[in-house]
Amino acid sequence: MLDNTARQLQPEEEALVQQPEPQPKPQVTAAPAAAPLAVPFSAFEKGLALLAGVLAVAVSIFCLFSQNQLANTQRQYEDVQSAITTQTQKINNYKQSIGELSNSERLSAFAKEHGLTVVDGNIKRVSK
């Protein structure tokens, strides 16, 4: 009744089957592989490759030309912006000078120095 659950099945057959002895493998000398033959390009393929090369060079030159034009345009834009800023500053300075020169107290003092009288009816104001 006490059987071992881990038992070998058919022990007689294993004893009958013998492991064959490994036979020495014959040494095979590898022959050098034949070099693959190059397939020549057809005239159409050569022309297509040439066209692709010319197209790549043309696109590269176009990109360089475009970058140069963009840089020049950017420089011109900055120059115009600088000129606009300069002119705006000049205009503001002129407006300030006009405001200082047309001050009524200054005009009255100038008139008194030169013996002039101010007639308010003759004064015209210009405003925007």
Between 52 and 118, the more confident residue is 52
Q: For position 103, what pLDDT does the model report? A: 85
Q: For position 82, what pLDDT does the model report? A: 97
- Residue 99 vs residues 45, 86, 126: alpha-carbon distances, Å: 80, 20, 12
Cβ pair 15, 9 in contact under 8 A: no
Q: Is 60 exceeded by the pLDDT of residue 41?
A: yes
Residue 105 DSSP label: H
Local confidence band at 86 (pLDDT 50, 70, 90 cut-offs) = very high
Q: For position 20, what pLDDT does the model report? A: 61
Cβ pair 8, 14 in contact under 8 A: yes
| Dihedral angle computed from the Cα positions of residues 113, 116, 120 and 125, in that order, rounded to the nearest 10 degrees | -70
Q: What is the pLDDT of residues 42-63, one digit of tens each?
A: 999 999 999 999 999 999 999 9
DSSP per-residue codes, 21-73:
PPPPPPP-PPPPPPPPPPPPPPHHHHHHHHHHHHHHHHHHHHHHHHHHHHHHH
Average pLDDT over the chain, rounded to an integer: 83
Residue 33 CA, chain-centre distance (Å), reads: 49
Q: Give mean pLDDT, residues 10-16.
A: 54
Residues in the chain: 128
**Lowest-confidence pick of 18-22, 72-76, 100-104, 109-113:** 18-22
